Structure 1
C-alpha cells in the first residue's frame, strides 16, 4: 500500500478525496472501488486522461502531470462509511493503490 488515508464527511454533503500514485502508473486507468483489496467493487474509473468522469454520485479526474487522481462523492450517507481503494494498476502490486477509510458523520 502506498498509503492509507482517513477522510471524514457529513451526511448529505460532498467529500473530495485526493489519491497520489507512482508515476510509472501514469498511463493506466484509475479506479475507485469499495471494499478490501483484492475483490473490491468498482464505483468509477477513468477511460482516458485529462477529463472528468461521472457515475451517479461519483466523479473522478486523473491529473497525470501531478500523479494524483481526485474522487468526489456527493450526497453522502451513513452507508458510504467504510473502506475504499484508489487503484492505479489492476495487478494490485503493493505500490499501486491507496486505502481510504471514509467516516460519515450524521
Structure 2
C-alpha cells in the first residue's frame, strides 16, 4: 500500500512562501497548491530551482479540471477549489531539492510557493528498498519478540511453582 503524503501550500500573490516536505524513495507525494480565484484561467506550473534564478519546468498546463502528465509528474488544476495538485511518482534521492509551485501572471511577478523536498531512502535487511515503513516493521517485530519472550518466562515460572507445590504437597 502506497502512502500518499499531501501537503497544502499557501500561495500569496507577489510573495514567495516556503515549506519543507519529506517523501520516501519509491513512493509518491502529492503537493496541493492554493492560488487566488482571480487566477483560475492562468497557466499553472511546477519547476525545479530557485524562483529568483532559472527554474526548469517539470510540468505546466493551461488545462482546467483535467490532469496533465509529464513523465513521473502530474498536475491537476481544480478551478472550482482554486487549487492545483502536483503528484511526483517513484521518488528517488535525486528528487531532493528546491522546487516552485507557480501561477503564471502575464506582465506581473508570478505567484510562487517554494517547496524544499527531502527524500528519505528506506532499506530492509537485504539492502533493497522496502515498500513499507522500516521503522514500523522493526518496532512491530521488537514488540512481538518481547511479548513472546515474556510469555515463555511466565510459563516457566508457573511450571516451576506448580512443580514445587506438588513436591511439597506429596511430601506431607
Tell me the TM-score normalized by structure 2.
0.57
- In the alignment, structure 2 segments of 5+ residues that lack a partner are 1-14, 122-172
Q: Which has the larger radius of gyration?
A: 2
CA contact (8 A) 2:68 2:76 kept: yes
Distance in 1, matches of 2:94 and 2:39, equals 31
Structure 1 consecutive aligned stretches of length 4 or more whose deviation exceeds 4 Å: none
Distance in 2, matches of 1:64 and 1:97, equals 17
1:37 to 43, 46, 51: 51
1:51 to 55, 60, 66: 66
CA contact (8 A) 1:52 1:59 kept: yes
CA contact (8 A) 1:8 1:104 kept: yes
CA RMSD of aligned residues (A): 1.5
Greater relative CO, 1 or 2 (CA 8 Å, sep 6+)? 1
* Structure with the higher fraction of residues in helix conformation: 2
* Structure with the higher fraction of residues in strand conformation: 1
Equivalent residue, structure 1, for 2:35: 21
Equivalent residue, structure 1, for 2:93: 78
Q: How many residues align?
A: 105
Is 1:101 aligned to residue 116 of structure 2? yes
Distance in 1, matches of 2:32 and 2:40, equals 15
Q: Could you say what secondary structure the match of 2:85 adopts? A: strand
Distance in 2, matches of 1:37 and 1:76, equals 22
Distance in 2, matches of 1:90 and 1:41, equals 17
